[in-house]
Structure 1
Amino acid sequence: MSDPYSEIISLLQPQASYFKLAHGSGPFRVRRANVNDAFYCSLLTGRASLQVDGKEPMILDPGDFVLIPAAKSFSFSSVDPPPLEGVLSVPIEGADGVFRLGNPDGEVEVRQLIGHCTFASPDAELLVSLLPDLVVVRGEGRLAAFTGFLRDEARANRPARDVVVEHLLQVLLIEAFRSGAEPAATAGLLRGLADLRIGPTLRAMHAAPDHSWTVPELAREAGLSRSAFYARFNQIVGTAPMSYLLNWRMALAKHLLRSGEHSITEISGKIGYGSASAFSTAFARYVGYPPAQYSRTFSA
């Protein structure tokens, strides 16, 4: 069966933006607004509070890992002692490259490794929309280790560094997604893959995008009635089954068109359209212009 996360992460083409080690002393709060890069944080020691706008604050303990695929606005603060309402801290970079939060001369109480990454794919917005908006992994030491390896490699001047960093980043993201598959996760692909009913249908769609899937057929794959499957898929994944399938097919189509290695007829067959004309019509409706024009504009 197909591995949807590996496929999506590979198509996203993640690239490391920067890493930093941050130490907190006493009360502190830092806030980031209108951030477009993916954000991740591994808490090494101490406790801290993360509040993503629109969500309840969450307490992070040592070993916890947070991934926000499309971070917008969030704040990170001390727990004991808590910062005063409305007070923001300015991170200060030390001579050792470590950023200090709160009292720069105080005893270090919180240590965290923070990273941002960008997605090079022109279809990043579409692909990220298939992912959960927030992943929290509790007490998984391997993620902290991966983050450390990634930071060390990015700072080194070794042969093939960029290739190694890209692959390590892919491994980190995939590990975060599969480790964070909890029933209480927010709606999205992660929660869908963890569901015993919906998971097989998602893997089936990714394994055979060329198949002429229908809601009744997917419902049989899930072992549910059509109405029960449709309602469950919407609730868990956050979108209708055919909408998800269309998004995935169009992401694949864009990738294949940019490669310049396939004809429009070949692509139409690979993603489940009976003819090039049917695919062209659907693509133009979805993207805004026909596949031939897209290929000429965006091919590698």
Structure 2
Amino acid sequence: MSDPLTLVVGLLQSHASFSKLVIAGGAWAVRRSDEGRPFYCVVLDGSCRLSVAGQTPIALHRGDFVLVPAAYDVAASSFDAPPDGIEPERVEISPGVFRLGSADVLPNVRMLVGHCAFGSNDADLLVSLLPQLMLVRGQGRLTTLVELLNEEWHANRPGREVVVARLLEVLLIEALRCTAGPTAPPGLLRGLADDRLAAALRQIHCRPRQAWTVIDLAREAALSRSTFFERFRREVGIAPMEYLLGWRMALAKNLLRQEKIGVAEVAEQIGYSSASTFSTAFTRHVGIPPILYAREQRGKLH
């Protein structure tokens, strides 16, 4: 039975859509607005300060990896950053490689920054279940991946862009793995750290067509109904039936984008007794009937 994280990663269809190498020296500071796009940063050498709207500024060092699933306002700077409003000299010294600050001083950081993309049309649901900021450090596997990225950028061998993109995809998955735990903010990753809740989450994700009730899921978690309901809502951030509905709708959207699959078949696969019952639920949740959603999404593929 696949674990929920594997299923979520598969449904997110994450990939690195854009990356650049930034080399900065002296006193420097940059700020940008990303309109909710997923942002990542990998520190290859040196250190800097990173500020994300709504979060406490953090110091980043070699080997650190940061993923912000929905970034709006991101700022990076040296620790002796200039006053706000002063932009450092910015030069593209080679394709995809940028120098910040004076070229007369030694660099104080080398980092890969960029955006990743989620292929799922329902990424908002999945992103809402992830921490607002994921910082991974001191993890051997991740450090190895960062070293491989560093080597690729230094070597400049044929196919570098493809290798870097694939390594970044693995980094994203590894970050999700490393961030899971009882100290994570409420959401899927924190829920998976609770053995009792993880048992129920596995059933929701792997058997969505089952006619689950709160009592059934509480039984899977070996908890009383009331204890399970409160624990699930506290750790995952939403009620069990709300989570089940969101997951079924995410699966439905994914299925409806595929060719040669009808609304009735989708309804059956995600646990609805009839196409009409599913259509009503889908329309209420998404805002348009499933047949119209399928037509629109398939039209985008042609």
Shorter-chain TM band: 0.7 to 0.9
> Partners of 1:95 and 1:291 in 2: how far apart?
47
Rounded to whole Å, the distance in 1 between the matches of 2:134 and 2:113 is 15
SS in 2 for 1:261: coil
The 5-angstrom pairing of residues 1-300 of structure 1 reads 1-79=1-79, 81-84=80-83, 87-89=86-88, 91-95=90-94, 98-146=97-145, 152=152, 158=159, 168-299=167-298, 300=301
Instruction: Classify 1:142/1:113 alpha carbon distance in 2 versus 1 (closer, same or farther; 3 Å).
Output: farther
| Displacement of 1:174 | 1.4
Deviations 1:34-66 (A, max 9, x none): 344321111122222222111111222221111
Q: Residues 121 and 85 (structure 1 numbering): CA distance in 2 closer, same or farther, change over 3 Å?
A: same
Distance 1:122 1:148 in 2: 33
Distance 1:275 1:4 in 2: 26
What is the CA-CA distance between 1:67 and the residue it aligns to? 0.8
* TM-score normalised over the length of structure 1: 0.86
Q: Report the RMSD for the aligned CA atoms in angstroms.
A: 2.8
TM normalised by structure 2 equals 0.85
Contact 1:18/1:115 (<8 A) preserved: yes
Within 2, Cα distance between the matches of 1:139 and 1:285?
45
Structure 1 counterpart SS, 2:55: coil
Conservation of the 8 A alpha-carbon contact between 2:67 and 2:134: yes
Structure 1 distance, partners of 2:221, 2:250, is 24
Give structure 1 stretches of 5+ with no counterpart. Answer: none
Question: Structure 2 stretches of 5 or more lacking a match?
Answer: none
**More displaced, 227-236 or 201-210?**
227-236
Distance change >3 Å, CA 73–CA 93, structure 1 → 2: same
1:10 and 1:170 in contact (8 A); partners too:
no
Paired residues, what number? Answer: 296
Specify whether residues 156 and 233 from structure 1 end up closer, same or farther in structure 2 by C-alpha distance, changes over 3 A only: farther
What is the CA distance between 1:134 and its match in structure 2? 1.7
Contact 1:283–1:290 under 8 Å retained in 2: yes
Counterpart amino acid of 1:17?
Answer: S
In structure 1, distance between residues paired with 2:165 and 2:61? 28
Q: Alignment partner of 2:16: what SS?
A: strand
- Inter-CA distance 117–77: structure 2 relative to 1 (3 Å threshold): same
Q: How many percent identity over aligned positions?
A: 51
Please say if residues 92 and 104 of structure 1, whose CA atoms lie closer than 8 Å, have aligned partners that are also in contact.
no
Give SS of 1:115's match: strand
Q: In structure 2, how many angstroms separate the alpha carbons of the residues matched to 1:78 and 1:175?
A: 27
- Secondary structure in structure 1 of the residue aligned to 2:77: strand
Report which of the two has the higher share of strand.
Answer: 2
Provide the secondary structure at the position in 2 that maps to 1:48. strand
Where do 4+ consecutive residues of structure 1 move more than 6 Å? Answer: none
- Per-residue deviation, 1:231: 2.4
Give the superposition deviation at 1:16.
Answer: 2.7
- 1:92-137: per-residue Cα shift (whole Å, max 9, x none)? 3224753223333211122222232222333333332333322111
Q: Secondary structure of 1:92's partner?
A: strand
**CA distance in structure 2 between the aligned counterparts of 1:236 and 1:253, rounded to whole angstroms:** 25
Deviations 1:222-280 (A, max 9, x none): 23332332222222222222111111100111111110232222211211112222111
